[in-house]
Structure 1
Amino acid sequence: MTLHEPMQDDERGAATVAGLVERRSIDVIPDSERHGRAAGQFTLWLGANLQITAVVTGALAVVFGAGALWAVLGLLVGNVLGGAVMALHAAQGPRLGLPQMISSRAQFGVRGAVVPLLLVVVMYTGFFASGTVLAGQAVGRLTRLGDTAGIVVFAAVTAVTAVCGYRMVHALGRIASGVGALAFAYLGVRLLERTDVGALLAHHTFSAPLFLLSVSLSASWQLAFGPYVADYSRYLPRQTSARAVFWWTLGGTGLGAQWSMTFGALAAAGAGGAFSGHEVGYVVGLGGGGTVPAGALYLVIALGKLTVNVLNTYGGFMSLATGVSGFRGGRTVSPRARAGYVALVMVAGTVIALLGKDSFLSSFADFLIFLLTFFTPWSAINLVDFYWVSRERYDLPALCDPHGRYGGWRWRTLLVYAVGVAAQLPFLSSSFYTGPLVAPLGGADVSWLVGLVLPALLYGVWAPAARAAGSDLPRVSDPAV
């Protein structure tokens, strides 16, 4: 079977449960199965960002010392910059019809791609865990089972939903975007009633390091979506406008994240210690005293987290399957293997959530910075290759052949990636490590800028030879591919 051939009828029947479970996984989506519109990316990413973890991320900018005004502006800059990079990845989905990380084989080699893939799985598991802590609190209080039972229940529901796949994910996005928009509008009104926002924004003291910290928090949030964003646009028709996919994705993720993060920053600035460490309780207390009962707000929090946690679980399954197939071969995943991969992500994330639920806020901040360090170089390499070096010319069957055009390991790319990671360390500021160049910059963390620019330049310098080697290939937007 080639990468383009559809599965046989017996495979379809085995992979389908009453038409509910997605048949495809890491194989190319045939043109006959493409569907949807670019506008669907807006609701998916709006729903994925209108949720409690984004609120916490916005609050961190204030918790770490930034004033409300500059925190909100810094978060806006980071959401625009990081969201633009993330949206460029989304535009790859309709062209390739493949999960995001399998395209890394064109840069890193069929087997060499396992290096960023392993880190991506760590990312998915970490975000699953952090989201499950907050959602588990909501489920535990909604059901009166307690936080621990709430975490386990929420994780199980996430896994079952992720097994269903692509259509279920987008359906959740549509529901979560509508419910989340209504809930956050209501919570915003309640916040304005309780807090003198004008007074909070009147403090204009500017600190460059704290402003850059705010930018880094939101930029890292957006960049962390990059390794799986094309997973959710790969079913779009091949000829879908790349500009439309870019703008609908950026609009949804930018608006959703900025809305949630602004709410979090203002809530943290107004509530102080009453917010930090008690995020779910504060949000419910803020809104539950009005016309909306507390139970409804707990349900909204759980729904928002369910949407993004399904993304993390589904992406984790895709990444594990991609990594394994690079060594074992194979282009399809059986229903049993699919369930096994999903269960592995769920169990690992749940264990981390249960162990770390009492020290979540500080651990999450460090995790965000960790992610930014390792994924900006990958993002830079992947985007430069797709848009500049290869210019959408890929040998799709060779992505599954370690002896083909892309080889098993592309050591030069791996070296560029390692240099990109290492170059960030002198500029990195975190609780467990602070680079020597942070203090001369006034404490500002600019590591993510270094991680984007340097690998892009290095890869762009040596890789044009690869463009010439692949000039015989048609563009992947050609329906004949």
Structure 2
Amino acid sequence: MQTESTAVKGSSNEQSTIEGRSIDFVPEHERTDKLSSQGPFWFVGNFTFFTMTIGFVGPSVGLDSIWTTVAGTLGIMFGTLFMAFHGSQGPHLGLPQMIQSRAQFDYRGVVLVLIATLFVFAGFNIVNLVLMMQGLKTLFSWDPMQVALAVTLPATILAILGHDWMHKTFKWSLYLSLPLYGLVTLAVLMGWVQDAPVIKGAVPETPLGFNWTGFIAQFAAAASYNIAYAPYVSDYSRYLPKNTSSSKLITAVFLGASLSGAWMISVGGWLASHLHTTDVLVALNAVGAGFAPHLGTVVVAITILAFLPVIAMNIYSAKLTAITSIDSFKKIEPTAKARVVAIIFVVCLQLGVAMSIYNSGSGLSVLNIYLVVMLYFLVPWTAVNLTDYFFVRRGRYAIPHFFLPHDNIYGRWGTRGLLSYLVGFMAMVPFFCIFDGSREVFVGPIAQAMGSVDLAWLVGLIVSSIVYYLSCRSLNLHHEEAVIAHIEINMPEYTTGNKRRA
């Protein structure tokens, strides 16, 4: 596959193994990805030990493994809907997701949501690193900084190599993780884990069952986990041909991401409720040790090795966001050099924050809070973006204007998008429900009156969508359509593949 393996700017005409594109438009002749790769790609993205950790949320708030499975499955399916619909934008526009957001928030206004999404991309890796440092310190007394560097370095190289290499390594990750987690799942179903050795660091057993607060908390954690993929998906679907069927792509992304997510959350909920530990790597080590004395170490090693492409994916999308942020104020040439510099910046940021959190002694508590806050930041953006794409502009965009700092039809500060985001976010605040385990961090007044049931995400989705749709009634779509038609006649490579507006 030679989608991004074009010669790097300034090099010879020979192809380079390092990706040459960053935030720029992908021409049709480079879009040689296949629809069949999307389902497996997103299946592997959720087929990780970190997804198991989402299943630890339920038992931490009083749910047993069955109710954790139910709440987690429903939540992951709900969140994946938004993720999958975002994925359909990639082939039709040939752009990274956050560049397309300039249509709603405009050239500079998009920085607000870019900060939120950078928090998501970098935050995922920060939490991942903290969990790995804690788990390997508990199991093998390994130095946390050495663990962080050993994991981050190969992932950084993979992110620098780019899109094609990540697709290849995701395939190898599937070959490694499928038999591994198949064995873990079999051990859970057959009850073999009951004979696992006593876990170091296990917490006292507490009665588990059902409660609405815990159910909604687990649902929201699972939903936010895949809603958080929404800013990623177009980054990895933009190399599909523009005539790719939207319905087939949405189905492929949905099935891939939701099936593996529900599977891993269910296993995680069982491990947390039966082994009474808050560390998923410790639990996986116990499962392996239940089969053979040293098999636990092998399980942990393969778990981390199979996870490296996911860390690379977070770095890759974070650097796209960082470049877009800077480009919104100072024009950047989208070269391989810009990508490498942005990647180094993102990696240094992640390492510094991860070490700080690790030294604070906060592990699963940081994960619980992070997932909920991440959902709060992303919900207004996904509501605005999807409303614009499917109901306002209906996929019709002047692609060259996304890269014009001046004189573009979208402007510099998108009042409609920014207002809708802020109104939606503010409407959520009274419904906020943030807990550290059973300890209340912040619960809004309406959430308190409802018994600490978290419905803030639902409020944000509804309010931001309605405000944006109504505010766009004054939008001059006829002028935009005239500009788009002119572009399609004079620069046919920028056609979106969508039908013209009636």
Superposed displacement of residue 211, structure 1: 1.4
Q: Partners of 1:25 and 1:451 in 2: how far apart?
A: 31
User: Are 1:419 and 2:416 counterparts?
Assistant: no
Is structure 2 residue 395 aligned with structure 1 residue 392? yes
Letter in 1 for 2:399: L
**Secondary structure of the corresponding residue to residue 350 of structure 1:** helix
Question: Which position in structure 2 is the counterpart of 1:73?
Answer: 70
Paired amino acid for 1:78: G
Distance 2:160 2:170 in 1: 16
CA distance in 2, matches of 1:151, 1:141: 15
Superposed counterparts of 1:139-154, under 5 Å: 145-154=142-151
Q: Which position in structure 1 is the counterpart of 2:160?
A: 163
Contact 2:159-2:315 at 8 Å conserved across structures: yes
Residue of structure 2 aligned with 1:11, choices 9, 12, 36: 9
The correspondence of residues 267-306 of structure 1 with structure 2, limited to 5 A, is 267-272=271-276, 275-276=277-278, 278-290=279-291, 293-306=295-308
Measured in 1, the distance between the counterparts of 2:92 and 2:235 equals: 12
Q: How many residues align?
A: 464
Q: Corresponding residue for 2:470? A: 461
**CA distance in 1: counterparts of 2:12 and 2:104, whole angstroms:** 34
Q: Is the 8 A contact 1:52 1:304 kept in 2?
A: no
> Are 1:249 and 2:276 an aligned pair?
no
Distance 1:155 1:139, change over 3 A: farther
1:319 aligns with 2:321: yes
2:195 is aligned with 1:194:
no
- Report what 1:200 is aligned to: none
Separation in 2, partners of 1:258, 1:122: 25
> What amino acid is the match of 1:337?
A
1:405 aligns with 2:403: no
1:447 aligns with 456
Asked if 1:224 corresponds to 2:228, the answer is yes
- Per-residue CA deviations over 1:117-164 (Å, capped at 9, x if unaligned) read 012112111111111223446777999853331112111221111011
Letter in 2 for 1:324: I
- CA shift, 1:255, in A, is 0.9
Deviations 1:28-68 (A, max 9, x none): 11111001222211111111111111111111111111222
Query: For residues 320 and 468 of structure 1, do their structure 2 counterparts lie closer, same or farther at Cα, with a shift above 3 Å needed?
Result: same
Shift of 1:173: 1.7
The question of 1:83 aligning with 2:80 is answered yes
2:481 is the alignment partner of 1:471: yes
- What amino acid maps onto 2:100 in structure 1? S
Measured after TM superposition, the shift of residue 398 of structure 1 is 0.8
Please state how far the C-alpha of 1:195 moved relative to its aligned partner. Answer: 5.2
Instruction: Identify unmatched segments of 5+ residues in structure 1.
Output: 1-5, 197-202
Cα deviation for residue 479 of structure 1 reads 11
Task: Provide the alpha-carbon RMSD of the alignment.
Answer: 2.5
Deviation string for 1:396-444 (max 9, x for gaps)? 1111123210011112321111011111111111133210011221211
TM-score (norm 2): 0.87
Contact between 2:315 and 2:343, CA under 8 Å: does it hold in 1? yes
Distance 1:209 1:14 in 2: 60
Residue by residue over 1:76-116, the C-alpha shift from the partner in whole angstroms, topping out at 9 and shown as x without a partner, is 11111110110000111101101010001000001111110
Give the match's secondary structure for 1:471: helix
SS of equivalent to 2:433: coil
Over 3 Å counting, the alpha-carbon distance change for 1:294 and 1:372 in structure 2 is same
Taking the aligned partners of 2:182 and 2:175, their CA distance within structure 1 comes to 11
Give per-residue Cα distances to partners, 1:175-205, cap 9 Å, x unaligned: 2223222111100122232357xxxxxx995
Contact 2:41–2:170 (8 Å) recurs in 1: yes
1:375-386 correspondence to structure 2 within 5 Å: 375-386=378-389
Partners of 1:342 and 1:254 in 2: how far apart?
A: 29
Residues 1:10 and 1:293: Cα distance change in structure 2 (over 3 Å): closer
Structure 1 residue 310 and structure 2 residue 312: aligned?
Answer: yes
Query: 1:85-100 maps to which residues of 2 (within 5 A)?
Result: 85-100=82-97
Decide whether the 8 Å contact of 1:84 with 1:250 is kept in 2: yes
| Deviation at residue 279 of structure 1 after TM alignment | 2.0
**Percentage of matched positions with identical amino acids:** 27
Distance, in Å, in 2 between the alignment partners of 1:10 and 1:283 is 43
Which stretch of structure 1 is more off in the superposition, 363-372 or 347-356? Answer: 347-356
CA distance in 2 between counterparts of 1:377 and 1:204 reads 34
| 2-structure distance, mates of 1:8, 1:429 | 48
Tell me if structure 2 keeps the 8 A contact 1:87–1:247.
yes
Q: Which amino acid aligns with 1:451?
A: G
SS at match of 1:327: coil
2:32 corresponds to 1:59: no
The answer to which of 55-64 and 370-379 deviates more is 55-64
Query: Structure 2 vs 1, CA of residues 208 and 90 (structure 1 numbering), >3 Å: closer, same or farther?
Result: same
